[in-house]
Amino acid sequence: MIIDTHTHIGLGEKFEDTFQIDQSLDLLLAQMDEAGIAKACIMPVTYHDYEFGIEEIRQAVAAHPDRLIGYARANLHDEPRALDQVRRALGDYGFRGMKVHPWQGDGWPTRPLMDLLTQFDACLLLHTRPEIDVINSFARLAEDYPNVPVILGHMGGFGPYWPGFVKLCAVEASRIPNLHLDTARVFDHGWIKMAVEICGAEKVLFGSDACAAHPAIPLKQIELCHFTDSERDLILCGNAKRLLRL
């Protein structure tokens, strides 16, 4: 079984980022079938207010409960509304986690949000960028909330950034029990292999950023790393099953 822990669907609002608009459920399912993905964590594309985006995810999961696992997003600049939306998504809709993208207007995680994620045993996926202060801040967040699995999306970068930031994320994951990395949009397969050598396969989760990026591409990267069977099983399935309580 392969579980993709980082995918998006939704109509979206912000036209300046073409990854954040017009990502259809049908396309995601078709990509999953083509790549042999059994299950995927799906989360909204970017909205100013995530009410509609959360509803898109709720409907998709309801239609395909055997294949899709819901993640919320919320605009933390309006914290009372955001907390209400996340509480409903986790409590009423059965979502298993939340994504926060600070540079798409989501804001930064707050103590009330982290307390809520702790209450629901939910995962937190953070969009990262190659900046030391950002990685340090996210590492500190994971340390302060040890019962929340914190996943650094893109291993600290997005695109052809310096591999040193991937190495820094892996070092932090090696020392913080609840800090993990995903493989979505990692530029070079060798960086994934380096991360596993530093923090162990038990800290790395397969993610693709579908349907804006086809999941077959990061799967090929995993193949080129020549991991052992046990390492590969952890990355593609075992870690996600453990963190998501599947």
Condensed to tens digits (0 to 9), the pLDDT of residues 75-121 reads 999 999 999 999 999 999 999 999 999 999 999 999 999 999 999 99
Domain with 136, as residue range(s), is 3-244
Count: domains in the chain: 1
Residues 115-136, mean pLDDT to the nearest whole number: 96
Q: Is the pLDDT of residue 134 over 80?
A: yes
CA atoms within 13 A on the CB side of 170: 21
| Calpha distance 118→174 (Å, rounded) | 22
Q: Is the pLDDT of residue 201 over 90?
A: yes
Q: Is the pLDDT of residue 161 over 80?
A: no
Q: Is the pLDDT of residue 19 over 80?
A: no
CATH number at residue 91: 3.20.20.140
Q: Is the pLDDT of residue 205 over 90?
A: yes
Instruction: Report the length, in residues, of the chain.
Output: 246
Tell me, what's the pLDDT at 21?
A: 80
Position 17 confidence tier, pLDDT thresholds 50, 70, 90: confident
**Beta-carbon contacts of residue 84 (< 8 Å; ≥ 6 apart):** none
| Calpha distance 33→186 (Å, rounded) | 22
Q: Is the pLDDT of residue 141 over 90?
A: yes
Q: Which residue has the higher pLDDT, 41 or 20?
A: 41
| Average pLDDT score over the chain | 95
| Calpha distance 180→172 (Å, rounded) | 9
Q: Is the pLDDT of residue 157 over 90?
A: no
Tell me, what's the pLDDT at 58?
A: 98
Q: Radius of gyration over alpha carbons of the chain, in Å?
A: 16
Q: Which tens digit of pLDDT belongs to each residue from 190-199? A: 999 999 999 9
Tell me, what's the pLDDT at 162?
A: 80
Q: Is the pLDDT of residue 70 over 90?
A: yes
- Asked if 109 and 123 touch (Cβ cutoff 8 Å), the reply is no
Residues 58-86, mean pLDDT to the nearest whole number: 98
Tell me, what's the pLDDT at 220?
A: 97
Going by C-alpha positions, the residue among 207, 205, 192 that lies closest to residue 238 is 205
| Calpha distance 136→126 (Å, rounded) | 13
Tell me, what's the pLDDT at 111?
A: 97
Tell me, what's the pLDDT at 18?
A: 75
Tell me, what's the pLDDT at 158?
A: 72
